[in-house]
Structure 1
Amino acid sequence: MRPIAIRVSCDEIAVKSSQAASVGLIVNELVTNAFKYAFPEGRPGVVEVEVRKRNEKVVITVRDDGIGCPTEAKSGLGTRLINLMVAQMQGGMTRAPMAQGCEVKVVVVIES
């Protein structure tokens, strides 16, 4: 068992089922990436997930207190999947190092 805690905070957001599935997949891939890369060799840590509604957009933020962001993101299947869904939802993704760890923020447009 890996000693990693997950903290989740989410607004109540009404979206079409197809968009809900995409948001869920994006969150899943971001959290999976944090588990895979932020905490090597059984290192303990915390992953924080926030999903917020801002006007006609959904803001997904995943932060970890792991080893930090690499200078270049890996371009594996998960990252390509995230990029594809973000593009389809007219959004964008940013990645930023923190004092300890990494923060990835995805903003997507929701259809009314």
Structure 2
Amino acid sequence: MQGCNRTVTITHLGYDGDSDSDTEQEQTFHGCSWYGGRAATPGKEGMAARCVYKCRIPQSAGDTVVAVGDKIACGSETATVTVVRDNRGRPGAHIYLEAE
């Protein structure tokens, strides 16, 4: 994949039923693509602007454990994952994420 020169960190949130506690698993991936943009969301007061980040983690970066609600960071930007798509069975295999 072209333009894949960013490092992203995913904090996967989970739950340990045995200890009745929340868990965090942090993973760092190199060779990813990352870009952000603005989107509009309709609301009672009209349209509201929000930042949307898009990330592609190439299959070659390693095993990825990520789910909606996890945190993703790239540089000084941190966001919550809202979309996860597994595109590992295609040419240019990758995991696609969107976050706000």
Q: Under a length normalisation based on structure 2, what TM-score does the superposition of the two structures give? A: 0.42
Structure 1 or 2: larger strand share?
2
**Under a length normalisation based on structure 1, what TM-score does the superposition of the two structures give?**
0.39
Instruction: Determine which structure has the larger helix proportion and give its number.
Output: 1
